[in-house]
A and B are shown apart, each in its own frame.
Chain A
Amino acid sequence: MIEFNAVSKQYPTGQLALYNVNLKLNQGEMAFLTGHSGAGKSTLLKLIALLDEPSSGEVIVAGQNTKTIKQRKTPAFRRNIGMIFQDHHLLLDRSVFDNIALPLKIEGMRHQDIKRRVRAALDKVNLLSKEDQFPMMLSAGEKQRVGIARAVVNKPAIILADEPTGNLDPDLASDIMHTFKQFNEYGSTVLIASHDHELIKEMKKRIIVLRKVKTTNTKAGLKNGR
């Protein structure tokens, strides 16, 4: 489902975020991505979601080389990937409900269906009571959960999460992880970047460790393990 072949990413600033990354994630697999801060976890997820392009190497998602996807097709492609952002990217002038409904509206779903699906997603993240509130009124953990609900509301084939439990208390974090597991059991391929080693170990899923690129450009990359 997701394949990285000798992928490197250098930002225009000259910062080398990924160097020679090789990775393969099968359809329906669930895996965790760890590594020190600055190791390139967010960058790696962005490359999958077509939010950025690799400097070299190829990223293959759902059998398609991301380089060959036409501009016109990228939105539809992105919609099949539910991404939870580290800085959740919610719209502050729209209610929780409207934020979560956004992907469905973009797909052009009927209003009744949108209502049903948004409620179901809110229920999954335990936020049903907050649907009319605005993001400003929410705690950091609640905002994060709204971000999760928005990412999964259209049942995407791939779910990518960047530190989804960063601001959550351990119980809630564990709940959320199990929600992801549930989505995985429904068939979604799930990749979660996380620092929370305890929790990751508990989940008994594949763990991918990203090592930080040395500035001396020595060979860095990826270690696969369990």
Chain B
Amino acid sequence: MGAKYHQSGSFLGSLMGHHKEAIVYSLAKLWQSNLSTWITLAAIAIALCLPASLHLLLQNLKSLTDDKREVPTISLFIKQDISEQRARDRGELLEELSQIDKVVLVPRDEALKDFRKITGFAETLETLDENPLPHVLVVTPHINLIGNPEEDMEKLAAKLNTYPEIDLVQMDIEWVRRLRSILRIAERAIFVISALLALTVLLVIGNTIRLNIENRKEEIKVSKLIGATAAYIRRPFLYTGVWYGLFGGVMSLVLVHLALLWFVGPVNELARLYGSTFVISGLSVATTFFILFASSLLGLVGAWIAVGSHLRSTKLEE
């Protein structure tokens, strides 16, 4: 019966038109909606808040432990008969290695001076006619928390030990171990909490869309009667799900940042008392986008589940 078949422009054009229509229509419906929509959005926002703020906490803890004093270093004790110049040269060569961030030479004289100041054993030290301390190269390795830093550091230490100038390699690995295991646990906890709350968001949105569909049964039926495709009927509901997720996500970001503002004062005060330059950091742009993307995706999936099989077929059930 093709003779009377009407098409307006290209297939792509009409598809874009359909999407535009579904977007406008679903937004308008959401806009007109009532208190229950806001309650749903608030529930989604609160559910999303928790993982976002835990992530923020973890990130701030990480940056706190990044404090200079706490970065693990490897101390290389140079053999007694090696000159300061040779030690310096070795240091410069080591600095070229990709696993190493920085090498600082502490000449034995300087070390002695510091030692006097710190220990208060000045008099005892005076009795020695020769400086017993070696030159020390303090190596800051380039640590990568994502990889396997313990092993990396051990490898590096073994390698450093092979240089002829070096007498002894000493490293502080305990610190990395502890940090790593703490972060590992924290990350898992956050993952579990996030997964559970994502499921909550999914259920909330799915249920909202399901009620939405119930309320618009007649409209769905009529649309089917006059030849709407399943995709056409489904689309506004899927967009509604995406809007719930997206707007819930935006609301949760606002909440997290409001809470953050509330924390800034006391945290800065605490940092000052500890003489730290630590500043609380907000969510990064990437994380912000990730949260919005993830929440929209959750909305889409929730809506997809709710739409169910009866909106996937064009069968009419009376």
Within 8 Å of chain B (Cβ to Cβ): is A89? Answer: yes
Within 8 Å of chain A (Cβ to Cβ): is B228? Answer: yes
Per the bound structure, the CA–CA distance linking A109 and B8 in Å amounts to 5
Per the bound structure, the CA–CA distance linking A89 and B13 in Å amounts to 29
Per the bound structure, the CA–CA distance linking A90 and B220 in Å amounts to 11
Nearest A residue to B25 via CB reads A105
Contacting A at CB under 8 A, from B226-242, are 226-230, 232
Contacting A at CB under 8 A, from B262-318, are 313-316
**A93-B219, A113-B8 known; A106 vs B3 contact (CB < 8 Å):** no
Nearest A residue to B10 via CB reads A108
Per the bound structure, the CA–CA distance linking A102 and B228 in Å amounts to 9
Nearest B residue to A90 via CB reads B222
Chain B interface, DSSP helix/strand/loop, else mixed? helix
Per the bound structure, the CA–CA distance linking A90 and B225 in Å amounts to 11
Contacting A at CB under 8 A, from B1-29, are 1, 3-9, 13-15, 17-18, 21
Nearest B residue to A109 via CB reads B8
Question: A106 near B225 (CB under 8 angstroms)?
Answer: no
Question: A78 near B222 (CB under 8 angstroms)?
Answer: no
CB-contact partner of A91 in B1, B218, B315, B316, under 8 A: B218
Question: B21 near A105 (CB under 8 angstroms)?
Answer: yes
Per the bound structure, the CA–CA distance linking A93 and B221 in Å amounts to 14
Contacting B at CB under 8 A, from A125-160, are 150-151, 154-158
Minimum Cβ distance to chain A for residue B147 (Å)? 50
Question: B228 near A75 (CB under 8 angstroms)?
Answer: yes
Question: A80 near B226 (CB under 8 angstroms)?
Answer: no
**A71-B314, A80-B4, A80-B5 known; A108 vs B18 contact (CB < 8 Å):** yes
CB-contact partner of A89 in B7, B222, B314, under 8 A: B222
Within 8 Å of chain A (Cβ to Cβ): is B223? Answer: yes
Minimum Cβ distance to chain A for residue B309 (Å)? 12
Per the bound structure, the CA–CA distance linking A9 and B71 in Å amounts to 82
Within 8 Å of chain B (Cβ to Cβ): is A57? Answer: no
Nearest A residue to B231 via CB reads A75
Question: B222 near A74 (CB under 8 angstroms)?
Answer: no
Nearest A residue to B5 via CB reads A80
Question: A108 near B14 (CB under 8 angstroms)?
Answer: yes
- A156 partner residues in chain B, CB cutoff 8 A: 4
Minimum Cβ distance to chain B for residue A106 (Å)? 5
- B314 partner residues in chain A, CB cutoff 8 A: 71, 74-75
- A226 partner residues in chain B, CB cutoff 8 A: none
Besides the known contacts A89-B221, A89-B222, 7 further A-B residue pairs in the complex with CB atoms under 8 A apart: A91-B218, A102-B228, A107-B6, A108-B8, A108-B13, A108-B18, A187-B3
**11 residue pairs bridging A and B, Cβ less than 8 Å apart:** A51-B225, A78-B227, A81-B227, A85-B225, A89-B222, A92-B218, A103-B227, A106-B226, A108-B13, A108-B15, A151-B226
